[in-house]
Structures are given as structure tokens and as C-alpha cells.
Structure 1
Amino acid sequence: MSHTEPRSGESENALAGVELRMAADPTQLSIVRAVAADIAMRQDFDLDSIEDLKLAVDEACSTLISLATTDAVLSARFIVVDGAVQVFTEVGSERSAPPDRDSFGWRVLSALVDSVTTWVAPRADAFEVHIDLVKRSLGTVDA
């Protein structure tokens, strides 16, 4: 685990983030779900919102694992800003297209969080596929 600083432009009260880097393997999903749940609990999310975040992180990471190159590293970075948990996930892939937004998994993911985006960045040897999501607690209002 490594700690990250908030990106420039994020509010000054942003909690230092947590980044997990692990093998892009389904056996690692329980770790990332546990971290998501712990962060949501510390932000006083209700039980349904905690479960929603866990499932969303699981779906995002599962999707990325299915696109990963052999021996790829899956990264999941969590940052809390103004009561919302922001999750930035990425993995190396040979695929230049983002995940299918018409799939059942994407629809489930979209229903569980307040916002979700995906994008692909070129790397020297392949591509980097990203899925970023935001989950707000019920008491958090958009500014």
C-alpha cells in the first residue's frame, strides 16, 4: 500500500488517499473490497451505501482483470473528498477500447455509484484501461 496526495484542484480537506497495487487476478478482489468497505465505514456511509461501494469496486476491478495483459498489475486508488469516496482503477491491457458500456456489468456498476467513467491511455508497450467512480454518502450534497 502506498499513500498518495490529492490531485491538484481537489479540496484542501481531502483525506490522503490509499493505493493498492496487486496482481490482476480474481483472487485479489477480496482485498480491494475490504479496503473499500473500511473507507466507506470511516466516512459514516450507511450499510446499503457501504455494500454498494464494495460491489461497484468489485465490478470495476473484475472488468479490468478480464482486460488485463498477462502479469499485469491492477491499481486501485481511493481518495475521500467532501464525504465522497473517489476510486481510480487501472490495469495494463492490449485492448485500445474501453469496457463495453452496454454490458450488464456496466449497467450494474452505473446503478451502484453516483458517477462512473472509463477511458484508455496509450503506453509505450500497450494501453492502460481506467475505470473511475464516485460514491457519495446519503448526507453528501453536491456543491
Structure 2
Amino acid sequence: MMVPKQHSNDGEVNVTDWEPPSLRAQNEIELWLGADLAHLPIVRSVVATLATRADFDLDSIADLRLAVDEACSTLITRALPGSTMRCRFVVEDDELRFQGTVLSDNDSAPSTKSFGWRVLSTLTDSVDAHVKSNGQGHQVDIELAKRRVVVDVPGAGA
């Protein structure tokens, strides 16, 4: 859970200065970047690199790039101006999971009836969004996961 860091000089909370939690796994990567569409290429590059290293096929890598791009675009359009977006990537076994988070003044989750949500649900194995109030606004999360296709090659290992 992200908690805004309290500034001591004037007592105001700056929602762009979150205190990051410690990483729980060796295979977990977390990025903190300005909630700005200009940063989408960075996030797409990270997910593509992780998927490549995890031996995902080219189609799955392309799907992940598009899905993460759509998730982040959705989050950025909801983010408070000048705020931060957190992107967490976890690779475990044959699955890559992504969680994007922003602070927003909007208390509703992204619509599951939108074209963007259709893209997310088509390109991934699972996708979910939720909103939690945290006293400084609303924390909006989008989580998605894609499993690596394991191909059984006839005669291999025989």
C-alpha cells in the first residue's frame, strides 16, 4: 500500500512523493514515474524486456506491450495533475503480472464496458481494476497477468 510522505516544513502532504514499499521478490521490478503519456515508451520497453527474458513468444510480447500501454494510458488520464504513477512487474513461473497505480480525484474504477477494457481483456489472461480511498484522494489500480504459452514439441526430450 502506498502512503503519501508527510512533509515537516508546512505539514502539507505532497501526493507526488509516495514512500515506496520494499520489494518482496527477486523477480519484481517497480518503476515510479510522472503520470504523463510521454513515459509510455519506457513502460512498454520494460515489459517487453521482461517478457523476452522470461521466454514469452513474440505474439505474447506484443500483446503485453499493448496491454500495459492501454492500462497506463487509462491510469494517466485519471491521475491527479503532476502526480506519480507506480508500475510493478512480477515474473513468476510462466506468468508476468503488472500492476499500475495512480492517485486520482475520481472515485470510480475504469469502465469494463469501454473499448480500452475490451483490449485489456482480449490481450491478457486476467485483468482487474479497483479504487481505494486513502484520505488524499483515490488510489486507482489496474492489474493484469499473462501466462507464457508452453509449447510441447513432439519428440523433444524423448
TM range (shorter): 0.7 to 0.9
Taking the aligned partners of 1:42 and 1:5, their CA distance within structure 2 comes to: 20
**AA paired with 2:60?**
S
User: Aligned to 2:58, which of 47, 51, 57?
Assistant: 47
Q: After superposition, what is the alpha-carbon deviation per residue over 1:47-95, rounded to whole angstroms, capped at 9, x for unaligned?
A: 0000000000000000000101111111110011112001011000001
Q: Is the 8 A contact 2:27 2:92 kept in 1?
A: no
Structure 1 residue 107 corresponds to structure 2 residue 118:
yes
Structure 1 residue 91 corresponds to structure 2 residue 122:
no
Cα displacement (A) at 1:43: 0.7
Q: After superposition, what is the alpha-carbon deviation per residue over 1:83-115, rounded to whole angstroms, capped at 9, x for unaligned?
A: 200101100000110001100011011100000
Aligned residue in 2 for 1:117: 128
* RMSD value, Cα: 1.7
TM-score normalized by the length of structure 2: 0.80
Q: Is the 8 A contact 1:114 1:136 kept in 2?
A: yes
Gap runs ≥5 in structure 2: 1-20, 152-158
TM-score normalized by the length of structure 1: 0.88
SS in 2 for 1:4: coil
Aligned residue in 1 for 2:24: 5
Name the % identity. 44
User: Aligned to 1:25, which of 36, 56, 73?
Assistant: 36
In the TM superposition, structure 1's runs of 4+ consecutive aligned residues that sit over 3 Å from their partners are none
Cα displacement (A) at 1:16: 2.4
Aligned residue in 2 for 1:137: 148
Structure 1 residue 71 corresponds to structure 2 residue 82:
yes
**AA paired with 2:54?**
Q
Equivalent residues, number: 132
Cα displacement (A) at 1:3: 7.0
